[in-house]
Amino acid sequence: MKVGIFGQFYHQHSEQPIQHFLDALKKTDVEVAVEKNFLELIKHHDGIDTNVATFSSFTELDKSYDLFFSIGGDGTLLKAVTFVRDLGIPIAGLNTGRLGFLATIQKEHIETSIQEMIAGNFKISQRALLAIETTPDSNEIGELNFALNEIAINRKNTTSMIKVETYVDDEHLASYWSDGMIVSTPTGSTGYSLSCGGPIMDPGSKSIVLTPIAPHNLNARPFVLPDKAEIKLKVTGREKSYLISLDSRIATLTDDTEIRIKKAGFSIKLAQLKEDSFIKTLREKLLWGEDKRN
């Protein structure tokens, strides 16, 4: 069995769970490769064995990998997606961060969780992505033109609202005067979209969510569409440029740019322990089970 490991090491006091994770892997008969930059980070900490192979780019990954571990929070897992892309390698997230909707392996149960994963005792959750095209083509976005959580439009260098003209399958929906617009997958419905009043959606839902950010149109509400729909956005405002984010990646576009968003041609496989479920995650992460009446 061959596994890849990626992390960003942003979180304080994460050395211990990383060491426990690598120790748990040593007890198994697997080939391990650690992403080059992450390996350089953990080399500075005594007691962490870094005698493993490395990789540094997407082009060095191939379908010989059986699992790809992300160590950190959900943001780290989103970045791991840019390594795996359309290879179909299952991604498992070890949560050393905070909330962890995507990174569901808890640091308190590392050894038993890794044993289960290596033994193949996990399930696959297929997650849809969004893809973006711009007219004219933008070098700012490049080949990483996809997002697992959301694609978001935000104002830049101004406190004034922007107008986001929104079309669905080339039919005009509305012009949103707002701080921006979020186009979210079901996976991303518990992220930025949720913070802006969007609905929580089961990851298996075949839908796309449009969530305006602080709209001045008081009757504007989030809108759920089938995932076969194509979204077109045109942005205007006092400034001649605006921000667009694809998960954690940010670019600047000019207001003459037309954006088209649709379901990507590939999906991501999230590897989860068999006892994990989206409903269980909601109860634990959003504290829905804290009501004593439950």
Query: Which phi and psi angles does 74 have, rounded to 5°?
Result: -65, -35
Residue 18: how many CA atoms within 13 Å on its side-chain side? 29
Residue 168: how many CA atoms within 13 Å on its side-chain side? 14
Beta strands in 138-230 (DSSP E): 146-147, 150-154, 162-168, 171-178, 180-184, 207-213, 223-226
Pairing state between β 207-213 and 180-184 = antiparallel
Side chain identity, residue 271: A
Give the C-alpha distances (Å, rounded to integers) separating 163 from 15, 193, 255.
Answer: 46, 18, 10
The rounded radius of gyration (Å) of the Cα atoms in the chain is 20
Give the C-alpha distances (Å, rounded to integers) separating 183 from 61, 136, 261.
Answer: 29, 20, 8
Our answer to whether residue 74 is catalytic in this structure is: yes
Residue of 23, 74, 137, 247 marked active site:
74
Q: Return d(Cα 70, Cα 78) in angstroms, integer.
A: 9
Beta carbons within 8 Å of 289's beta carbon, 6+ residues apart: 283
Q: Return d(Cα 134, Cα 170) in angstroms, integer.
A: 15
- Select from 61, 14, 65, 74 the least CA-distant residue to 41: 14
Asked if 244 and 110 count as a contact pair (C-beta separation under 8 A), the reply is no
State the catalytic residues.
Answer: 74
